[in-house]
Amino acid sequence: MQQLEHSGVLHLRGGGTSVVLATDLADLPVIVWWGADLGDLQDPELADLVAAGVPQRVSGGLDAPVAMSLVPGQSAGWFGIPGLSGHRAGRDFSPRLVTRAIDVERVRAGGDGPARVVVHAADEAPGLTLDVELEVTPAGLFRQRLTLTNRTEEPYTVAALAPVFPLPAGADEILDTTGRHLRERSPQRHELTVGAHVRESRRGRPGHDASLLLAAGRRGFGFGHGVVHAVHVAWSGNHRLVAERTPTADAYLSAGELLIPGEIALDRDASYATPWAVGSWGEGLDQLAHRFHQELRARPQHPRRERPVTLNTWEAVYFDHSLPTLLTLAERAAAVGVERFVLDDGWFLGRRDDTAGLGDWFVDSAVWPDGLDPLIAAVRGLGMEFGLWVEPEMINLDSDLARKHPEWILRARDELPLPGRQQYALDLAHPDAYKYVLERLDALLSEHDIAYLKWDHNRDLLEAGSAETGRPHVHETVLALYRLLAELKDRHPGLEIESCASGGGRVDLGILELTDRVWTSDTLDPIERLTNQRYTGLLLPPELMGMHLTTPKVHSTGRTVALDLSGGVALFGHFGIEWDLTTLDDEGLSEVAGWVALHKRYRDLAHGGRVVNGDGDPHADVRGVVSADAAAAVFTYAQVTTSVTYPPGRFTLPGLDPDRRYTVRVVAGSVDDGPGQSPLAWTRRPITLTGRQLALAGLQAPVLYPGRLVVLEVSAV
């Protein structure tokens, strides 16, 4: 480890990203550049880069120019949102944290600069120390984490603590997402004007309306063009994302935990560490997303084996757990190529509907007189893994657990908060509640051959406090959840867990440190899923996103959809089926089996390649995955609504090697299905074009009925 004097400039590099830190402009270092790699700059060049950006004194302002530091505050003349807010019973509200040392902990091979530094700072008067970890990863992500420690006897209350990510010149438009149950990740854009754009989640989980990323870039940026930067907070509880432009022309993004008043009160030598805040950038959103995908795929715990094709029983049987029906369903599932069979809600004590039973994690002998083993044995005998639905963080009042331990229910006062989904939240931070849940889940996994848990979380938290102390407990319950997941995985090697939160209500890089996929949304409507999966994909690669075939009449929207649309929209992800296959005849089963086989044909490509999205006709959707060597790709073209022109215009295929020749062929889906249409040449026979021609000139779009889809295979000649 190398320790530097706190002066000069540090250049962090990796994965095509540069971060330049000036250590002598303010009490804390200042990030003077975050974005494209600046090359192997020498010290004089770095010094001039810093000098080029020093602000000047202006009329009516402070007597000394102010540079936005890592944790800006009023003691340094900062009038924007402070990086740290806190106090001791109203005092010490404006600490002055000053750099004491900087450690360079890791240096990239090849001498291209440090990849990780830790800044140590302190304010001796109020007795606070701060460590700021900054690193640029091999994928080019920029990560920051802050740790604040109280060094005196009097407690220090932390109100807010979050790092900043400065934006380059030209960032004038914001992109975030919002939504609701059954419609998560709906994009919205805003002008980045002077002032703050704040997105907060106070739901005890990220929530359906959460923005996975807060992005800012040049106006009109798309998936393939325009410089854009974004941040994400790797945390599964309350959080806060900020984009602010100040009257002094500073513009930045910030990502941190949102703390409930009084939630973090530090005793002597106690510390609060923020979640990792993670930044990415790119020439277009696809490049920005690819950095996240690379980083996730490089993790040691990232799933390495092929993602099993999954059938989930919920929309097939709901609470009707008839063993003969489930056995028939399992046989049909195996016949079409399913590799994992998941028994959803309704198997545990007293669970005949969603008003009772949560918390009583015992197999219900009234429904399962011989236990789960007959079904598990049949599933395993058919060559499939067995999975089970659980919701361990929740409790129904109509349960033995609630009657015995009402003090384990999160609340702010004696009476309970408003109910949601006929249930309440369990205080996992209560040691006895944690012990009980761990024991019950461990027993289920030990007594049965269960390879997979669908881990649900079906309500937002309200007034989430300890019944015993009255203190807020969101932060503590999230940490307890992480401990619980880690303990179960440690006790049961190979166990896979899905993060489901009434669909996509808990999708973040914190939960994905300990889980193996997310349920992207409770809606299986493929039209709705197009947008949902595209914007979830800004953070996650396809193999971490559950994408399933649906029944022809979609349960959540009532829309009737074609199998080619349902299959094509699910094709790239962690593929599965949410359908009562016992209702299909042999022809219907054969069609489903064909889509399962098509997914398996492209599974390795989809789960290891580079995701690309078309920026074209709003009435159509083009997306694909290109192999790492650009030798192969698979694309889908979906007609979402009718086109203004008839026939439609051209569409392009991005992301291919511009100088290679590729053969394009239709391998599945609808072709020329309208009445009175002439055949479209390239849909009738393979054609060969260069990657440049496909990206610039493209192909004539087929005339399809709305809600139909074509799958294209692209192979280098």
pLDDT at 464 over 50: yes
157-178 pLDDT tens trace: 999 999 999 999 999 999 999 9
Catalytic residue among 123, 209, 345, 522: 522
pLDDT value at residue 11: 94
How high is the pLDDT of residue 113?
A: 61
pLDDT of residue 673: 59
Task: Decide if pLDDT at 590 tops 90.
Answer: yes
The mean pLDDT value for 45-52 works out to 93
pLDDT in tens, 226-264: 999 999 999 999 999 999 999 999 999 999 999 999 999
Residues of the chain above pLDDT 70, percent: 97
- The whole-number pLDDT of residue 110 equals 46
Question: 47 exposed, middle or buried (CB, 10 Å; 0-12, 13-18, 19+)?
Answer: middle
Query: Catalytic pick from 27, 250, 427, 456?
Result: 456
Q: pLDDT class for 671, splitting at 50, 70, 90?
A: confident
Q: How much is the average pLDDT of 686-696?
A: 97
The pLDDT assigned to 138 comes to 94
Please report where in the chains the tokens 């309500």 appear, as a residue. 459
Cβ within 8 Å of residue 322, ≥6 positions away:
none
Q: Got the DSSP string for 384-422?
A: -EEEEEE-TTEE-SBSHHHHH-GGGB--SSSS----BTT
Q: Give 64's pLDDT tier (boundaries 50, 70, 90).
A: confident
- Residue 108's pLDDT band, with cuts at 50, 70 and 90, is low
Residue 553 pLDDT greater than 70, yes or no: yes
Residues 6 or more apart whose CB falls under 8 angstroms from that of 580 comprise 315, 316, 317, 329, 551
- For the chain, what are the domain ranges? 2-55+64-297, 614-716
Instruction: Look at residue 467 and tell me whether its pLDDT is greater than 90.
Output: yes
Residue 176 catalytic? no
Strand boundaries in 108-213, DSSP class E: 114-123, 128-136, 142-150, 156-161, 164-166, 173-180, 183-191, 195-201
In the CATH scheme, what is the homologous superfamily, with its name and number, of domain 614-716?
Golgi alpha-mannosidase II (2.60.40.1180)
Using 50, 70 and 90 to split pLDDT, how confident is the model at 576?
A: very high
CA distance 163 to 132: 9
Confidence tier at 4 by pLDDT (50, 70, 90):
very low
% pLDDT > 90, the chain:
91
Is 522 a catalytic site residue?
Answer: yes
pLDDT in tens, 268-311: 999 999 999 999 999 999 999 999 999 999 999 999 999 999 99
Per-residue pLDDT band at 677 (split at 50, 70, 90): confident
- Omega within 30 of 0 (cis) for the link into 647: yes
Length of the chain: 717
Instruction: Tell me, rounded to whole angstroms, the distance of Cα 228 from its chain centroid.
Output: 18
109 pLDDT exceeds 60?
no
CATH of 2-55+64-297, one of 2.70.98.60, 2.40.70.10, 2.40.50.140, 1.10.10.10: 2.70.98.60
